[in-house]
Amino acid sequence: MGWEHVSTGDVLRAARRAGTELGRKAQAFMDSGELVPDSVILDLVRDHLKGVPPEAGILLDGFPRTTAQAEGLESVLEAVSRRVDRVVVFQASDDELVKRLAGRRSCPECGAVFNVHFTPSSVEGKCDRCEGKLVQRADDEAETVRRRLVVYGEQTEPLIEWYRRSGARVVPVDAGAPVDEVHKAFRKAVER
Ligand code: AMP
């Protein structure tokens, strides 16, 4: 779609791999399934949005996750005469999410992602694309995934109502459906 894709989780993981100060700040929060402090996340997003051309669409992925982040985002966007136009909520049961996340394996070399239940690599533990050794994200261990779901319910879910009240179009997507259907529903949700 040619949009700028800002995934705060991806940016944080890249910072950790590069060993930067941001990565060091985020590490303990991420590994225990807690949220990284709002001020750290808002600085990161502000930085990433600075260079985006005014005509380009922006997809914010995994952000905002708290009311404070949503309020911070309002002022960041206001400064560049933009606003949140669509909010897509991916919905799936907790059991399904635990299965998906705890089964996820990724390749630190090339970034390819597999899943032991749904899309396993041809040789267990080995990347099909570059033969790198597949790893499980520390925060994808089943117990940490459950903690992430509790944090989601407490801190992120209330944002759905927050955005409804603010007048943004909130579009639920059934994320329990097969990949191609979720993809189609997402494209429809963000259509202009
Ligand atoms: P994700 O890849 O989006 O699931 O993010 C992985 C982890 O990074 C989360 O569990 C948090 O510890 C941290 N993180 C990512 N995005 C945010 C955010 N918007 N606010 C706070 N923490 C975040």
Q: Got the DSSP string for the chain?
A: ---EEEEHHHHHHHHHHHT-HHHHHHHHHHHTTPPPPHHHHHHHHHHHHHT--TTS-EEEES---SHHHHHHHHHHHHHTT----EEEEEE--HHHHHHHHHTEEE-TTT--EEETTTB--SSTTB-TTT-PBPB--GGGSHHHHHHHHHHIIIIITHHHHHHHHHT-EEEEEETTS-HHHHHHHHHHHH--
Last residue of a domain, one of 84, 113, 133: 84
79/16 same-domain check: yes
- Tell me the mean pLDDT in the region 144-163: 96
105/164 same-domain check: yes
139/171 same-domain check: yes
pLDDT of residue 135: 95
pLDDT of residue 50: 86
The predicted-structure confidence for 60-117, as pLDDT tens digits, reads as follows: 999 999 999 999 999 999 988 899 999 999 999 999 999 999 999 999 899 899 999 9
State the distance from the centre of ligand 1 to the C-alpha of 12, rounded, in angstroms: 8
122/143 same-domain check: yes
- Tell me the mean pLDDT in the region 143-149: 93
Asked whether residue 51 carries a pLDDT value surpassing 90, the answer given is no
61/98 same-domain check: no
74/102 same-domain check: no
187/95 same-domain check: yes
State the distance from the centre of ligand 1 to the C-alpha of 139, rounded, in angstroms: 10
99/70 same-domain check: no
- Tell me the mean pLDDT in the region 39-54: 92
Of 15-19, 59-63, 136-140, least confident by mean pLDDT is 136-140
pLDDT of residue 138: 84
98/80 same-domain check: no
184/108 same-domain check: yes
- Tell me the mean pLDDT in the region 8-13: 94
122/183 same-domain check: yes
State the distance from the centre of ligand 1 to the C-alpha of 14, rounded, in angstroms: 12
Domain count, the chain: 2
CA 45 from centroid of its chain's CA atoms: 13
Atom of ligand 1 nearest to the CA of 61: 3
State the distance from the centre of ligand 1 to the C-alpha of 68, rounded, in angstroms: 15
25/43 same-domain check: yes
Last residue of a domain, one of 84, 101, 125: 84
pLDDT of residue 59: 96
Which among 24, 92, 86 has a CA at the least distance from the CA of 61?
86
Last residue of a domain, one of 52, 84, 116: 84
Nearest Cα residue to atom 3 of ligand 1 = 9
13 Cβ closer than 6 Å to some ligand 1 atom: no
What is the CATH number for 147? 3.40.50.300
- Tell me the mean pLDDT in the region 108-137: 94
Domain with 44 in it: 1-84
